[in-house]
Structure 1
Amino acid sequence: MTTSGVLEWRSDVDSTGRLEPELVERYRRDGFVRVRGVLDRAEVEHFRDAAERFLEAHRSESLAKDRVFTQLVNVWRQDPTMSELTLHPRLAGVAEQLAGIPLRIWHDHMLVKEPHNEAPTEFHQDRPYWPHTGDRHSLSAWIALVDVPPERGCMTFLPGTQELTGFRPQNLRDEEDLFDLDPSLRWVPRVTVPLRAGDCTFHCSYTGHMATPNRTDQARLAHVAIYMDAETKFSGAPHPVTEPLDMTPGEPLAGEMFPRPGR
């Protein structure tokens, strides 16, 4: 911290793109980890400006038709600057260190909590929503493009819940839904992770998590790159990403729609 009380920028990723082993161990133990300074200050400004322009042009296309958040999917396919972020080799390198396997992009999405939206995103897992089979691991990189303190809609995690599989999709607007599936989760300690712009949380797709409401005057602007096992196949279940692709069950999720990032 500087003498003025302003936090200095710092990164948990070294000049070769490597993380400290302790952060990898923490991710594999808890199912999530905060990685500071994945983007430097110039990158944050570059990508935030592009995200704000894209949001202004496409806000009406949000898949979320309620007040919880604005959700724009596969932004990387539509905007060259945001594609740089989704396919960023530093992000992909960290994700593969954490997962321990080769990965592909499943999709990205911009998740925006508008100012004073007052709506939490309730506890849920990501993986039950996805039409995947034959996969060993999947995870999300949740990138803060603005400072995200608790009052602006940061993430809260349930450590260790990455071991819970087989649940149906949960309702993001029902605060009881995940806990109805497993009442013991009510007593799991909850870890809230504020982020500075350029910081990132990586969480396993089975880790229970939620986001607080945005009670501030500034939009919470987050970009999420979602990674899946490079060997993942299509299960046949419906999903907005695969619906236009005319895929058959058992077909690999590969090719230009699901690239190896950072390559």
Structure 2
Amino acid sequence: MTQNLTTAPPLHRLTAEEIATYQRDGILCIRQVFDADWIEELRALVAQDMANPSGMVKDINAKGASGFFFGDTFVCHHIDGFRRAVFDGPGAALAAQAMEASKINLLFDQILVKEPNTSTPTLWHHDAPYWPVAGDGICTLWLALDHVTQDSGAVEYVKGSHRWGQRFKAVSFDPDQQYEEELPPVPDIDGNRDDYDIVSFDLAPGDITLHHGLTLHGAPPNGRPDQSRRAYIQRFAGDDASYNPRPNLQKMLRDPGLEAGDPLDCDLFPVVWRR
């Protein structure tokens, strides 16, 4: 995936307080990062992908669930318009600021859509155990393409959980797949909510959240009968990230051709921003 790196100045420069919030809490909400033109284009690209998904699409609906929970990954390798969002959009520069990184690799981008009256929740998990990557500099950008509220499935985050010094076993979103890595299970957060500092954000189209790869998060169903919850997601890695293949991880688009411990720089995990 060869393309010019993002060189334009970011539309939003993080303040020292925002960077400190990301580092301390593992979650940061930033308003109106992607403008109306980006939102219109990305909504059209999501519709295009849903009509003709890539080979990476899989069923993530709970057994017997109502509605439809759609997910597709590595979409910038499937539809060229998403590639522009990766290389020309504002996300990579913001991730670099939050992680205080001098370069940013894209791990993959993703679509997650909960259509109206979708009863499947997003189970509590953190991202890093799914991926063949080591290092602290790993984050997820979650862009709202619709108005998002608790009723429509706003993501919840456990503040500070990225600094617990503990990885938890990956939770499968595919009813027919299970992960086997020897890690403890995710704690019962919903059953003990008072024990955790949980935060969520009502989002407007164009708002984003940035969360650390070890920040625990989950989301309720979309109970709205009249509102989809469309999200476009970019997964980024910073300076200290390296390739860490392990068995039974989330499927990648293809073998990146790297050895364990190598920098991520390759066609599958391209450098998309550099200071």
Query: Would the TM-score normalized by the shorter structure come out above 0.5?
Result: yes
Report the counterpart of residue 6 of structure 1 in structure 2: none
Query: What is the count of residue pairs matched by the alignment?
Result: 247
Find the aligned partners of 2:54 and 2:263 in 1 and give their Cα distance. Answer: 31
Instruction: Return the structure number with greater helix share.
Output: 1
Distance 1:73 1:85, change over 3 A: same
8 Å CA contact retained: 1:159, 1:190: yes
1:252-263 alignment to 2 at 5 Å?
Answer: 252-262=263-273
Q: In structure 1, list runs of 5 or more residues that go unmatched.
A: 1-13
Matching residue of 1:42: 37
SS in 2 for 1:179: coil
In structure 1, C-alpha distance between the alignment counterparts of 2:257 and 2:172, rounded to whole Å: 28
Match of 1:128 in 2: 129
Pairs within 5 Å for 1:93-172: 93-101=93-101, 102-133=103-134, 135-171=135-171
Q: Which range is displaced more, 92-101 or 232-241? A: 232-241
1:223 to 224, 232, 256: 232
The SS at the match of 2:14 is: coil
State the secondary structure of the residue aligned to 2:237. strand
Give the alignment's TM-score, normalised by structure 1.
0.83
What is the DSSP-based 3-state SS (H/G/I as helix, E as strand, rest coil) of the residue aligned with 1:141?
Answer: strand
Question: 8 Å contact 2:117–2:223 — kept in the other structure?
Answer: yes
State the superposition RMSD in angstroms. 2.8
Provide the secondary structure at the position in 1 that maps to 2:271: coil
Query: CA offsets, 1:127-150, max 9 Å, x none?
Result: 1111123x2311000001111111
Q: Displacement, 1:247?
A: 4.1
- Distance, in Å, in 2 between the alignment partners of 1:111 and 1:251 is 30
Alignment of 1:1-263 (within 5 A): 17-58=12-53, 62-67=57-62, 69-101=69-101, 102-133=103-134, 135-171=135-171, 177-179=185-187, 187-216=195-224, 217-238=226-247, 239-241=250-252, 243-262=254-273
CA deviation vs aligned residue, 1:151-208 (integer Å, no higher than 9, x gap): 111111111111023423242669xx52159x98760121121110000000001111
Structure-2 change in CA distance of 1:261 and 1:218 (3 Å): same
Q: 3-state DSSP class of the match of 1:37?
A: coil
SS of match in other structure, 1:257? coil
Q: TM-score, normalised by structure 2?
A: 0.80
Counterpart amino acid of 1:36? R
CA distance in 2, matches of 1:242, 1:249: 18
SS of equivalent to 1:207: coil
- Which position in structure 2 is the counterpart of 1:4? none
Offset of 1:59 from its aligned partner?
A: 7.8
Conserved? CA contact 2:256–2:267, under 8 Å: no
Separation in structure 2 between the aligned mates of residue 60 and residue 108 of structure 1, nearest angstrom: 14
CA–CA distance in structure 2, aligned partners of residues 51 and 159 of structure 1 = 30
Paired with 1:157 and 1:190, the residues of 2 have a C-alpha distance of: 5
Offset of residue 242 of structure 1: 6.1
Could you say what secondary structure the match of 1:191 adopts? strand
Contact 2:104 2:273 (C-alpha < 8 Å) held by counterparts: no
Please give the alpha-carbon distance, in whole angstroms, between the structure 1 residues aligned to 2:172 and 2:252: 19
What letter is aligned with 1:252? P
1:85 and 1:195 mapped to 2: Cα distance?
A: 20
**Aligned equivalents of 1:114 and 1:233: distance in 2?**
36
Q: Distance in 2 between matches of 1:185 and 1:212?
A: 14
Say which SS state the counterpart of residue 58 (structure 1) adopts. Answer: coil
In the alignment, the residues of structure 1 paired with residue 148 and residue 228 of structure 2 have an alpha-carbon distance, to the nearest angstrom, of 10
